[in-house]
Chain A
Amino acid sequence: MSGALRRLWKDNMEHRISFKINGEQKTISVSSHSTLLEMIRDQLHLTGSKVGCANGECGACTIIMDGEPVRACLILAVEADGRELTTIEGVSKGNDLTDLQKAFVEEGAVQCGFCTPGFVMAGEALLKRKSDPSDNDIKESLGGHVCRCTGYEAIFSAFKKVSKKKRR
C-alpha cells in the first residue's frame, strides 16, 4: 500500500477517525455508512443537532466543519477525520450565550426550538466570516433552513440586531 495513500479500513467496516469537536480532540470508531449526524448524536451524545429531514433540506442538523456551515445528515462520519467540528453545544462558553443566541431570545425567534440550533450555527458561521453582514448576506445564510413556527421574521430580526451591534 502506498505511503501517500491513507486507507482507513478494517474487516468489520469500522474506521478509526480522529477529529476535534467543540475544542476537544477525539478518536473514535465509526462505521463506513454512518452519517456525521448519527455519529454526533448517537456516539458522542451531542443531541443539539437535530434530525429534521435526514435528507439535506431542513437545516436542523447544521454544524460547522472547518469554518463552514454544512448539513451533518449529508456527510459521512468518516469525512470528519482530521477536521475541526463545532456543534451547537460548543458555541457558547458555559452559560454565557453568544450575542446571536441572546438576540434570538430577545427577538422571540425561538418557539418550539427545533430549528434553532441549525439557524444559530449558520449565523455563527456567517458572523465569523463577516462581522457586519448585509441583509442579503443574512438571507443567503438563512436559506436552506426551515422553520414551521416563527415565520422567519423574528429570526431575521435577531440576525440584524447582532450585525447592527457589531457595526457600532
Chain B
Amino acid sequence: MLKNLKDYYRPKSLPEALKLLKKGKGKIIPAGGNTALADMENPGIEGLVDIEKAGMSYIKQTGGNINIGAAATITDMIESALIEKFCGGFLRQAALSVGSTLNRNMITVGGNVFQLFLWSSLPVAFLALDAKIKVQGGSKPRLVPAADFFKQLPRKILSSSEMVTEVQIPLAPFKDANAAFIKFSKTATAFPMVNAAVILKLKGKVIDKLAVSIGALQLLPQRFTDIEASVIGKEWDQKTISAIAEEISGRAKILPEIRASAEYKRQVVRATIEDTLASLSK
C-alpha cells in the first residue's frame, strides 16, 4: 500500500495539521485510524498527517449540540455516556454496527464520514439527525449540513488543504424522540446490505417528527424529507406506518450487487422501516 509514502507527521494541534495539508497540495492527507489504507494504492500520496494527538479526540456537549471530534474513534462513541443517553442510545447503536471491536478501536468518526464507503454507518445516522460537518483548512472554517455534505462524495466537496474536524449534532429537535439504527447483514460483523436510521416523535397519537435515512443501497445515504414532511400531523396507525415504508422503499435508489438483487433489498428496506416504526411507537 502507498508505495510512494515518504513522510509521516504527528502534529500536536489542529493548526499544525492544517499547515501540513496546505503544504502538501494534495500529496499529504489526514490519517486517522488508517483502516482504509490497506486497500489504498494511490501513488500520489506522499505523506500522512496523523491526527490522533491533534486535539480532536473529544465527545462533548457544547450549548445545544453534541460535538464529536474527527479523531474520536467508534469505540470512544460506544463508551461515551453522552452518546448513550442521546435519543435512547441511537448513535451508540449506529457505532456498534460498525465492523468489529478491532475495527472500532481504530476507525475515526472523521474517517467514517469523509471516506464514505457504501457500507459506512455513521453518515446514515448523521443524515437523519440533520448533523453539521465542520470543515477546516480553507480560507475560513465552514459548517456543512449533512444533507449537503452527503449529496456527493466528500472528497469532491473538500479542497486538498481541508479536512473534517468535527461533527455537530443538534439536541433540541430530538428531545423526547425515539430512534433506532438497524443494520441488515448476514452476520454481525459483515458489511451491511441495508442500513436504516429511523427517528420518530409522536404528539399523542399524531406524528410530530419523522426522519428516515437509509444506506448501503448506493454510495450515498438517502433521505426523503418530502415524504417525512407529508406525514407530519397524520394519525399514527398501522396504515400510516405501512404507507411510509412503502413510499420510502419505492423511491429508494438501489444498486444491484452480488449479495442481493435490488428487488430483494427493496423488500428489506420496506420491512425494516415498517417494523422499526412499529416498535418505536410502543
Q: Which residues of A contact B (CB under 8 A)?
A: 2, 4-9, 13, 15, 32-33, 35, 54-56, 59, 62, 68-71, 73-76, 78-79, 81, 122, 139-141, 143-145
Q: Is B105 in contact with A75, judged by CB distance below 8 angstroms? A: no
**B 1-22 binary contact with A (CB < 8 Å = 1; else 0):** 1110111111111001000100
Closest residue to B187 on the A side, CB-wise?
Answer: A143
Cα–Cα, bound, A144→B50 (Å): 25
**B 99-112 binary contact with A (CB < 8 Å = 1; else 0):** 11111011000000
Is B34 located at the chain interface by the 8 A CB criterion? Answer: yes
- Shortest CB-to-CB span from B69 to chain A, Å, is 18
* Contact residues in B for A35 (Cβ distance below 8 Å): 1, 38
Q: Number of A-B pairs whose CB atoms are under 8 Å?
A: 95
In B193-208, which residues have CB < 8 Å from any A CB? none
Is B226 located at the chain interface by the 8 A CB criterion? Answer: no
Cα–Cα, bound, A68→B9 (Å): 22
Q: Is A15 in contact with B102, judged by CB distance below 8 angstroms? A: no
Q: Is A32 in contact with B103, judged by CB distance below 8 angstroms? A: no
Cα–Cα, bound, A131→B237 (Å): 47
- Shortest CB-to-CB span from B272 to chain A, Å, is 21
Q: Is A143 in contact with B8, judged by CB distance below 8 angstroms? A: no
Contact A70-B38, Cβ < 8 Å, known A76-B8, A78-B8: no
In B62-102, which residues have CB < 8 Å from any A CB? 75, 99-102
Q: Is A9 in contact with B8, judged by CB distance below 8 angstroms? A: yes
* Contact residues in A for B6 (Cβ distance below 8 Å): 9, 13, 32
One of A9, A54, A59 near B38 (C-beta < 8 A):
A54
Count how many chain B residues have C-beta atoms less than 8 Å from C-beta atoms of the other chain.
33
Q: DSSP class of A's interface residues: helix, strand, loop or mixed?
A: mixed
Cα–Cα, bound, A68→B1 (Å): 24
Q: Is A33 in contact with B12, judged by CB distance below 8 angstroms? A: no
- Shortest CB-to-CB span from A63 to chain B, Å, is 10
Interface centre among B2, B11, B38, B188 (most CB of A within 10 A): B38
Contact A32-B8, Cβ < 8 Å, known A4-B16, A73-B38: yes
Closest residue to A139 on the B side, CB-wise?
Answer: B188
Q: Is B38 in contact with A76, judged by CB distance below 8 angstroms? A: no
Cα–Cα, bound, A163→B118 (Å): 38
Contact A32-B2, Cβ < 8 Å, known A9-B8, A55-B39, A140-B101: yes
Q: Is A74 in contact with B106, judged by CB distance below 8 angstroms? A: yes
One of B13, B50, B101, B188 near A141 (C-beta < 8 A):
B101
Q: Is A32 in contact with B7, judged by CB distance below 8 angstroms? A: yes
Interface centre among A33, A140, A145 (most CB of B within 10 A): A33
Is B35 located at the chain interface by the 8 A CB criterion? Answer: yes
- Shortest CB-to-CB span from B77 to chain A, Å, is 14
